[in-house]
Structure 1
Amino acid sequence: MTLTEPQLVKIYQSLHQIPELAMQETETHAFLKKTVQQFEQTYLEVQTPKEMPTALLVLVHGSDPKRTIGYRSDIDGLPVEEQTGLPFASKHPQVMHACGHDIHMTVALGLLSYFASQQPKDNLLFFFQPAEESLNGGKTAYEKQIFTNKWCPDEFYGLHDNPDLPTGAIGCRMGTLFAGTTEVDVDFYGKGGHAAFPQNANDMVVAASQFINQIQTIVSRSVDPIEGGVITFGKFDAGSIRNVIAGQAHLEGTIRGLTQKMIEHIDQRIQEVADGIAQSYQAKVVVKLNQGGYWPVENDPELTRNFITYMKSAKNVQFIETKPAMTGEDFGYLLAKFPGTMFWLGVEDNSQLHSATLKPNPQAIQIGIQAIKGFLLNRMQEKEN
């Protein structure tokens, strides 16, 4: 059966009520698997990887496959207390689909239901991925070798809903769609002492403050302004009382960059600044950088050009060329391993992603399915590359 629009909306509402955090998506996994089992099974092969038990892989065998086209949907929620007032609001306290992954899953199920009954020419691999919001599920899946043999895509596609775009609009761009992100922790170790005798201490508030000041010059003077980057330190802990010089300080921040090369450059400059502060203040400075799987979403040039060309020419598709976003997405790691494209689906809402009041317009689901289905069918007619 191919899911109808009322059925899709009902699925969306059901998924919205059962959000779960990274690697805990057992109820979601069960719902997805049960739904897939209701489709025509002739061309389907379903697998739950033992290495990643909340993930779900569905292979649609093609009639004359020249390639395996991967389609990824993330499935986890966020630790957010919902404030939408919807009659189908989250049943799980302090957890919500505040990033629209319920929309993502529903679109994927709609596509899968069509190709389950209308055999595609190429193989299609649907990957329902846990842990996008944290614990870098894409990287984990790759490292656990889930994509092997017939379960390995030749190219990968995925969407992210966008409340700033009109309902059902498709947004994309050549190059980077999402920035990569790196978490930064910096610890400073000096010598505490009495506020009245600074000559006998080594003040880490001063050292950490100078570090912060110098960090501001990295983007302004070490980064190509055309490429861009962001460094933000949002947490600064030091000291215990006003009349004691702090012997330790701790900073926590984040790096955003539009290319992996740029992120690695910023990482290096942060370490060099830290080394200089350590020498200048005779302190020990320890920098910890954690990027995990949140690499920049760098779209493959050829595949993305094909995607944009189709969407621009397709009837009933509103295509919008979008700017890069500094938000992170772990699909970037998979796009570093497989050529592919990520794109936006407009869901038109006044609230932003990750907010407690996000209410995506469900009318985008069917419109999005039709646009993506058309692209996939068109892609299967192209020569193998």
Structure 2
Amino acid sequence: MHLLSKIRQDLHRIPELGFQEFKTQAYLLEHLGHLPAERLEIKKWKTGLFVKVKGTAPLKTLAYRADIDGLPIREETGYEFKSHHPELMHACGHDFHMTIALGIIQYFVKHPVRDDLLFLFQPAEEGPGGAEPMLRSEIMKEWKPDFITALHIAPEYPVGTIATRPGLLFANTSELFIDLKGKGGHAAYPHTAQDMIVAAASLVTQLQTVVSRNVDPLDSAVITFGKITGGTVQNIIAENARLEGTIRTLSVESMDKVKERIEALVRGLEVGYSCSASIDYGSMYHQVYNHHELTEEFMEFAKVNTDTEVVLCREAMTGEDFGYMLDEIPGFMFWLGVDSPFGLHHSKLQPKEEAIGAAVDLMCRYFLYKANGLSE
């Protein structure tokens, strides 16, 4: 088995939730420990890693981020190398992201370039969010790069294709949790209670008007509730209910406006249903906004110097906490085609491993170009 394929399959077996990636960190350290130590400097950060490949005469530091956590999903791929952790799965391709990063490190340890290369193995991308605290860490302050890039697998594109765009690529995102508390009672005496099942149903309906009536039609926003819980048994009026959802917007201004309107409707619900309510926005991710000149340079480089098919894609409502890093460090993110019939966060996601080698080849060529000053 090809080494990178083995690495991917090993990592696929041990998915872990955010800031619990202990086995993953240990595996990465073990693999890096087999590489020539004189060219590497490694620092642990929580359950992640900073890995510097030293340049020969560095003028800059160029960075590459790979996220490392999994998702709380029971795997249904049928892989022989399926997850060993029940109810957890690498269903967003982070096993690919890590493997590609290791492949690039392997190459540059043996083929040194002028500038330093910094690889960030970032925990907790799926939640509660690792990019922002990693960005604020003392290690990042010491090794802060001049440029940063990252990729994300894309099931809808064939292997050998990348897709990106200058400017906005991924949306602003926020979790949304609303807890309602009323007064329970016997199902036969609804007039003596405040029914939070009815209140929750009414609120979901009301919140659907926020996007259609409070967001500029030329902008885009999404409010989706994926889970509602409430009550205890069929003949007791529910005293409590909880709504769990997500907000996605293509502008910071729209995110603020959507939250303002949600809060107004919840205040009205408290009056209308004689209940109390609380709102928690949980994890919030900044938009992924690609640096125009750097993105255009990368797209042109890939077209001219590789066999990669380069697609100018549309922005997506996907969330990615890499946006926090791009807000402070020039760079870009791009989609990597992996040709899976099942999408991201699906229990049957099956990305094609040929995409790993294609990505390593592309990024090694690009870093040879960037880190040797050929783009200056």
TM-score normalised by structure 1 residue count:
0.87
Q: Which of 270, 274, 285 is the matching residue for 2:266? A: 274
Uncovered stretches (5+) of structure 1, i.e. residues with no partner: none
In structure 1, the residue matched to 2:357 is: 366
SS at 1:128 equivalent: strand
Distance, in Å, in 1 between the alignment partners of 2:26 and 2:237 is 55
In angstroms, what is the RMSD of aligned CA positions?
2.6
Q: Name the structure 2 match of 1:147.
A: 140
Shift of 1:157: 0.8
Distance 1:358 1:210 in 2: 35
What is the distance in 2 between the residues matched to 1:24 and 1:204?
35
Task: Summarize deviations over 1:23-66 as a string: whole Å, max 9, x none.
Answer: 222222222122222223333211123xx1x2111112223333
Counterpart pick for 2:295 among 304, 308, 327:
304
Residues 238 and 248 in structure 1, CA contact (< 8 A), matched pair in contact too: yes
Cα distance in 2 between the residues matched to 1:186 and 1:81: 26
Q: Which residue does the alignment assign to 2:257?
A: 265
Matched, 1:108 2:104: no
| Alpha-carbon distance change, 244 to 175 in structure 1, aligned in 2, over 3 angstroms | same
Distance 1:278 1:78 in 2: 35
1:12 to 2:29 alignment:
no
- Structure 1 residues 99, 241: closer, same or farther in 2, change over 3 A? closer
Distance between the aligned counterparts of 2:234 and 2:333, measured in 1? 51
Q: 363-372 or 303-312: which moved more?
A: 303-312
Deviates more, 1:207-216 or 1:112-121: 207-216
Confirm or deny that 1:173 pairs with 2:165: yes
1:215 CA displacement: 1.2
> Could you tell me which residue of structure 2 aligns to residue 31 of structure 1?
27
Judged with a 3 Å threshold, the aligned counterparts in structure 2 of structure 1 residues 257 and 145 are, in CA distance, closer, same or farther, namely farther
What does the per-residue CA deviation read over 1:91-110, in whole Å, with 9 as the maximum and x for residues that have no partner?
A: 33333222221211111111
- Structure 2 contact 182–275 (Cα < 8 Å) conserved: yes
Question: Which has the higher mean CA deviation after the structures are superposed, 153-162 or 14-23?
Answer: 14-23
1:374–1:259 CA distance, 2 compared to 1 (3 A): farther
Q: Offset at 1:203? A: 4.5
Is residue 42 of structure 1 aligned with residue 38 of structure 2?
Answer: yes
* 3-state SS of 2:77 partner: coil
Check if 1:286 corresponds to 2:282.
no
Q: CA offset at residue 141 of structure 1?
A: 1.8
Deviation (angstroms), 1:245: 5.1
| Distance change >3 Å, CA 266–CA 127, structure 1 → 2 | same
State the AA in 2 paired with 1:342.
Answer: M
After TM superposition, the structure 1 stretch with the greater mean CA deviation from structure 2, 188-197 or 340-349, is 188-197
Report how far residue 198 of structure 1 moved: 5.8
Distance 1:289 1:89, change over 3 A: closer
Long gaps (5+) in structure 2: none
Describe the shift of the 1:222–1:309 C-alpha distance in structure 2 as closer, same or farther (beyond 3 A). farther
CA contact (8 A) 1:170 1:368 kept: no
1:328 matched to which residue of 2? 319
**154 and 79 in structure 1: CA distance in 2 versus 1, 3 angstrom threshold:** same
CA deviation vs aligned residue, 1:112-138 (integer Å, no higher than 9, x gap): 111112222221110111222222122
Query: Of residues 186, 191, 206 in structure 2, which corresponds to 1:214?
Result: 206
Partners of 1:45 and 1:132 lie apart in 2 by 24
For residues 237-276 of structure 1, the C-alpha deviation after alignment (integer angstroms, 9 at most, x for no partner) is 4445666655543322211122333222211221122223
* Residue 234 of structure 2 corresponds to residue 234 of structure 1: no
CA 246–58 in structure 1, closer or farther in 2 if over 3 Å, else same: closer
Aligned to 1:376: 367
Mapping of residues 131-142 of structure 1, within 5 Å: 131-142=124-135
Structure 1 segment 310-349 matched on structure 2, within 5 A: 310-349=301-340
Task: Tell me the distance in 1 between the aligned counterparts of 2:187 and 2:280.
Answer: 30
Q: 3-state DSSP class of the match of 2:225?
A: strand
Could you tell me whether the CA contact under 8 Å between 1:267 and 1:289 is conserved in 2?
Answer: no
TM score, norm. by length of structure 2: 0.89
Aligned to 1:353, what secondary structure does the other structure show? Answer: coil
* Partner in structure 1 of residue 56 of structure 2: 63
Identity, % of aligned positions? 43
The CA deviation at 1:220 is 0.7
Between the aligned partners of 2:278 and 2:337, the Cα distance in structure 1 is: 43
Kindly provide the amino acid, as one letter, of the partner of residue 346 in structure 2: S
Measured after TM superposition, the shift of residue 227 of structure 1 is 2.4
**Contact 2:155–2:340 (Cα < 8 Å) also in 1:** yes
Aligned partners of 1:236 and 1:308: how far apart in 2?
A: 43
Equivalent of 1:159 in 132, 148, 151: 151
The answer to whether the 8 Å contact 2:128/2:283 transfers is: no
Query: Is structure 2 residue 249 aligned with structure 1 residue 253?
Result: no
Structure 2 CA distance for aligned equivalents of residues 242 and 41 of structure 1: 64
